[in-house]
Amino acid sequence: MNTAELAELGQQLRVDSVRASDAAGSGHPTSSMSAADLLAVLLAHHLRYDFERPGHPANDRFVLSKGHASPLLYAAYKAAGVIEDGELLTFRRIGSRLEGHPTPRRLPWVETATGSLGQGLPVGVGIALAGKHLDRTGYRVWVLCGDSELAEGSVWEAAEHAGYERLDNLITVVDVNRLGQRGPTRHGHDLDAYARRFEAFGWRTLEVDGHDVDAIDRVYGEALATDGQPVAILARTLKGKGVAAVEDREGHHGKPLPDAEEAIAELGGPRSLHVRVNEPPAAAALRDLTTEVLQLPRYDKGDEVATRDAFGAALAALGTARGDVVALDGEVGDSTRTEEFAKAHPERFFECYIAEQQLVAAAVGMAARGWLPYASTFAAFFTRAYDFVRMASISGSGINLVGSHAGVAIGQDGPSQMGLEDLAMFRALYGSTVLYPCDANQTARLVAAMSGLDGIRYLRTSRGKTPVIYGPEEEFPVGGSKTLRSSEEDRLTVVAAGVTVPEALAAADRLADDGVRVRVIDLYSVKPVDTATLRRAAEETGCLLTVEDHHAEGGLGDAVAEAFADGRPVPRLVRLAVRAMPGSAAPDEQLHAAGIDALGIAAAAKLLVEETIVR
């Protein structure tokens, strides 16, 4: 396209953004209008993409980090010929693929869900890491950011990581339109302020008038001529560009234009330009997906092994069996044991340092490119990245997250290091799987099982050694459980998981010595939960006692309670959990103080049995 045609394409994208938002009665047309020329030039001249083959290994990847500007993205799809005008006008309507913020669940050309600002660039870094170190097909990653979201700390985690990794296949275009939701942004149109920040992290920066299509074309060309540095293009733009009533004016964010018909006329009316997007070069995926027989580590009954140790060994074994497995760690690999994978498969291991948002975002980006990521840190530190996990669920991303050092059982480090909320966090996610193994063989099996699941998969591991109670041939289906003690004389059922399983078994032995039989269930699958086994135990024993190294809210006890949420009679349910704020103490002292050790379980069980006799 020549200069005039590029300018016309930019106007078409503006008009269609206005039309879509007006038809919906909501949306962000002014945020779309500021970036219209930037996307027009990219689409017409620089993006290499086969819309009929979104999985093409050499396709450039485009991430709209300012996801609220979705009318612009959908207008671009119309210009590329992959959606019709009629569909454009279904924007934000029930059943439409064109949601208020784009998601890959609906559209195959969307890399990741955005809308929670500050996430597009971190995920783009993950895609760029995959492109440079794994796929190696030469694709470029383009990320369109807004200036408001540059206030998010996650953006600078991403910027530092990209600079450190020298991701010269990553180009970030910042739409500096000066206005946020409620007024001016922190730095307004001070492009130098943004340049200094990116340059401090090792980026090359280029500044441009974001409404001069020739200048944009030139600067995109300069960005491609890079060597060893990511590039940030800082574009000075005007929010609501082209319509005098809203251009560079406050108070119009997130609203349809007040007079859409007049605005469309001012922009020159509707157009029907079609863009032939450049085809990607021929390329083939280079990854080795040869699947070998999985040889999981095997542990003998009676041994004492930490589940985190079994996780590390199992992950390394899985990486040998499958060439698509990658591991990421938050600079705690010697504790999480991902260092085992790093030793065995250094080319597929990624150190994300103490930047948990970037850790999860990188996993999401790699999953978007077809890799199978396992990302690990302390269970407590996933709280910092929870919004990224939430958005990954919205994306339908298939990632495995592993949290170690969970619960008071970690001992002397104290509450700042204790994951006591993680089961609740991950259970609350749409379509998630939550697993909590109690021994080494169970852990190894579940690590392998995670690779075949969809959505967000979370595995909770423990710091200290626990006895191996299962043989290496034992199967642990997701959604199942194991009944470890059972008799016809059972007076109640103890439901445990992870570190509380051996405590529950010890309590059952104590109670048996006193003539009290109790059933013990290892509920290693916290979500989905084994409702059939729980309901049968309730019918046969009348009372369930859950015991968990987790806060009482949202964890094992709530998972068990939900098994009876279908309207049937609810059994007596008593929950032992961590209810006080722990301090520093030895692991056994911590469990005892929380009342979740063998003594606490036995005491609670005796009290329940006595109360039942009195009744």
- 509's CB contacts (< 8 A; 6+ apart) are none
Instruction: Answer whether the bond into residue 528 is a cis peptide, omega within 30°.
Output: yes
Strand intervals (E) in 147-280: 170-176, 204-209, 231-236
CB 388 within 8 A of CB 364: yes
Tokens standing for residue 218: 């030139």
**Secondary structure string (H, E, C) spanning 277-325:** CECCCCCCCCCCCCCCCCCCCCCCCCCEEEHHHHHHHHHHHHHHHCCCE
Pairing label, strands 492-496, 482-485: unpaired
Integer angstrom CA distances of residue 41 from 37, 38, 215, 242:
6, 6, 10, 17
List 278's β-bridge partners, or say none. Answer: 48
- 537's CB contacts (< 8 A; 6+ apart) are 483, 493, 495, 519, 521, 544
Q: How many CB atoms lie within 10 A of CB 250?
A: 14
Rounded to the nearest 5°, which phi and psi values hold at 460? -100, 120
Pairing label, strands 433-435, 525-527: antiparallel
Q: Whole-angstrom Cα distance, residue 33 to residue 245?
A: 13
**Tokens 């300012």 sit at which residue?**
66
Integer angstrom CA distances of residue 317 from 293, 311, 314, 354:
10, 10, 5, 26
Q: Whole-angstrom Cα distance, residue 339 to residue 359?
A: 15
- The active-site residue out of 111, 165, 340, 356 is 356
Rounded to the nearest 5°, which phi and psi values hold at 85? -60, -35
Give the end-to-end CA distance of the chain in Å, rounded to a whole number.
Answer: 85
CA dihedral (82, 88, 91, 93) positive or negative:
negative
- 556's CB contacts (< 8 A; 6+ apart) are 423, 436, 495, 496, 497, 523, 526, 546, 547, 548, 550, 577
**Tokens 């705690």 sit at which residue?**
332
- Does the annotation count 356 as an active-site position? yes
SS3 103: coil
Rounded to the nearest 5°, which phi and psi values hold at 127? -65, -40
Catalytic positions: 356
